Structure 1
Amino acid sequence: MTTAATRHDRQISPVFLALVAVMAASAWAVWKEYGASPGFGVFLFVVSGWIVSLCLHEYAHARAALHSGDLTVGAKGYLTLNPLRYTHVALSIVLPVLFVVMGGIGLPGGAVFIERHRIRGRWRHSLISAAGPLTNILFAAALTAPFWLHALDGVPDVFRYALAFLALLQVTAAILNLLPVPGLDGYGIVEPWLSPALRRQVEPFAPFGLLAVFGVLWIPSVNHAFFDGVDALMRALDVSEWDTYWGQEYFRFWQGEPRVPVPFGS
């Protein structure tokens, strides 16, 4: 018999709390310019912050599923925010972090296993899929708030760059995840509204959707158009390309400490 999630099932995992602690400690270190290499502090802050956002992304899917009728998510550990309890740790955590390190792009992660047959109503199915990328959007809004609120007076430059780069990852993850491509959350939003015949035709392609997206992004013209759109959105949030660029440069501490020139006109 399936029961509602217990208090133990909802208890926040020590693994997640440790990630939050690393994020907070590294943020303090970057702010205070503590240590010989500020780049290493930026790296820890961005990676831990990125993993925290992935945990919240998956938690949002699970929480929406719980309130939509799938009471099994608690027993599976999805409500504890423990990244080790996801069905595909490599896809949800390891691969996204590798893409951040290698290319500075927010790879959509996945997944928690939702028992969709327990859920009734197309709107609920769509909401479950939308909950993850909405979390990335809210995370990006929080990170960029100091920029669009013009509250950066006194904020150390390196900390500003780190915030900008982490926000960029959230924006790219949200955009990619909302694409209506099989296997991504965007398709999960529209899938309940498609005919059963069309869904059966598309289903075999779902495991390859993410690979197809990144294959297309390798095309130079598409890549430039995508990042031009991302940069335009970041500028709308008052985050400049200068900030995100130097955030990524500091993040790549293994390449040597960057020498940031003074912006023209400052």
Structure 2
Amino acid sequence: MASDATHAERRVSPVFLALVAVMAVSMWAVWTDYAASPGFAVFLFVVSGWVVSLCLHEYAHARTALHGGDITVGAKGYLTLNPLKYTHAVLSVVLPVIFVIMGGIGLPGGAVFIERHRVHGRWKHSLISAAGPLTNVLFAVVCAAPFWLGALDGVPDTFRYALGFMVLLQVSAALLNLLPVPGMDGYGIVEPWLSPGVRRQVEPFAPFGFLALFGFLMIPEVNDAFFDLIHAVLRVLGVEEWDAYWGRRLFQFWDAPESVPSPADQWQWIRVG
């Protein structure tokens, strides 16, 4: 009976499989230009891919916590990849999707509840916090693989741009999550190494860290500097600002252009800019 329960706790949720199916079908629609509206297909592809990455992000936290000593994550449903099992489904899925739609930025959400008292050792606590953003890093590298491998010959422009925008979201999510701001994974990485006094002083601000971060990003100078950093990372991955820009334009299908230029037109855009 115990083994049956353990197997059920780790069985992949039909909700997650449905998300993967939507991602696969919309990816096919983008690749083949089958959809009547390429922008809407890009929208479905990016949103479903973004939610899949959020599920993997939270799963990485939970799986690392399980190996770190918190055996309760299975009973909470965190190992099924079901986003509806999160402590705050709205914060974990709905708000991040809204931020993507509004601003084209991968603001992270939260969270799975880890019973930290069951985990012993500072390194284990840091690894639990780091596991999530490292998943975004891996997702970004995989999505950017056709760019840095030079394997884009014959790839439809619409699919190329959608991938470019997907990489931007993953890079922005990883960078934001790794900031040592209370309430973010970056702070969770360094928190075990802080003195008890410092942790007590910072603890009351943790619920407001996300809001403070969002507020700072609304400052034009901060926003520009942050996106400069994002595009610097994208260039390392082989993704040009052109690719991410047109991916975002297609993603916003309600305001998408009637025609999209090819990568060969990029030199004119750079010269004019």
Residues 156-189 of structure 1: per-residue CA shift (max 9 Å, x gap)? 0000000010110000000000000000000000
Query: What amino acid maps onto 1:45 in structure 2?
Result: F
Deviation per CA, 1:126-176: give whole Å up to 9, x if none. Answer: 000000000000000000000000001110000000001011000000000
Give the Cα–Cα distance (whole angstroms) in 2 for the partners of residues 177 and 126 of structure 1.
Answer: 13
Given that 2:249 and 2:256 are in contact with CA atoms closer than 8 Å, whether structure 1 keeps it comes out as: no
Q: Which residue of 2 aligns with 1:86?
A: 86
When residues 187 and 5 of structure 1 are mapped into structure 2, their CA distance, relative to the original with a 3 A threshold, is farther
Q: How many residues align?
A: 265
Cα deviations by residue, 1:45-83 (Å, 9 ceiling, x for unpaired): 000000000000000000000000000000000000000
Question: Is 2:252 aligned against 1:252?
Answer: yes
- Equivalents in 2 of 1:66, 1:264: separation in Å? 48
Give the AA of the match of 1:138.
L
| Residue equivalent to 1:26 | 26
SS of structure 2 residue aligned to 1:141: helix
| Root-mean-square deviation (Å) | 1.5
Return the alpha-carbon distance in structure 1 between the equivalents of residues 58 and 117 of structure 2.
19
Q: Provide the residue aligned with 2:186 in structure 1.
A: 186
Q: Distance in 1 between matches of 2:164 and 2:256?
A: 20
Q: Which amino acid aligns with 1:141?
A: V
Residue 137 of structure 2: aligned partner: 137
- Residues 4 and 74 of structure 1 are in contact (CA less than 8 Å); yes or no, is this contact kept in structure 2? no
Aligned-partner SS, 1:238 = coil
Kept after mapping to 2: 8 A contact 1:62/1:114:
yes
Residues 1:59 and 1:259: Cα distance change in structure 2 (over 3 Å) = same
Specify every segment of 5 or more residues in structure 2 that has no aligned partner in the other structure, as ranges.
Answer: 269-273
Correspondence for 2:118? 118
Change (3 A) 1:134 1:153: same
| Residue number in structure 2 paired with 1:59 | 59
CA drift of 1:265 comes to 4.6
User: Whole-Å Cα distance in 2 between the matches of residues 179 and 150 of structure 1?
Assistant: 31
Instruction: State how far apart, in whole Å, the 2-side matches of 1:115 and 1:264 are.
Output: 50
Instruction: Using structure 1 for the length normalisation, give the TM-score.
Output: 0.97
> Cα deviation per residue 1:202-246 (whole Å; 9 max; x = unaligned)?
000000001111111111111111101111110111101110000
Preserved contact between residue 178 and residue 187 of structure 2 (Cα < 8 Å): yes
- Asked whether the 8 Å contact 1:133–1:174 carries over to 2, the reply is yes
Corresponding residue SS for 1:73: coil
Letter matched to residue 140 of structure 1 = A
Whether the aligned pair in 2 keeps the contact of 1:3 and 1:71 (CA below 8 Å) is no
| 2: CA distance, partners of 1:43 / 1:182 | 32
Q: Percent identity?
A: 73
Structure 1 unmatched ranges of 5 or more: none
SS in 2 for 1:71: coil
Q: CA 1:264 to 1:162, structure 2 compared with 1: closer, same or farther past 3 Å?
A: closer
Aligned partners of 1:129 and 1:186 also within 8 Å: yes
Q: Distance in 2 between matches of 1:264 and 1:65?
A: 45
Write the letter of the residue equivalent to 1:136.
Answer: N
Give every structure 1 segment of 4 or more consecutive aligned residues whose post-TM-superposition deviation is greater than 4 Å: 2-5
CA distance in 2, matches of 1:114, 1:3: 22
Asked if 1:128 corresponds to 2:93, the answer is no
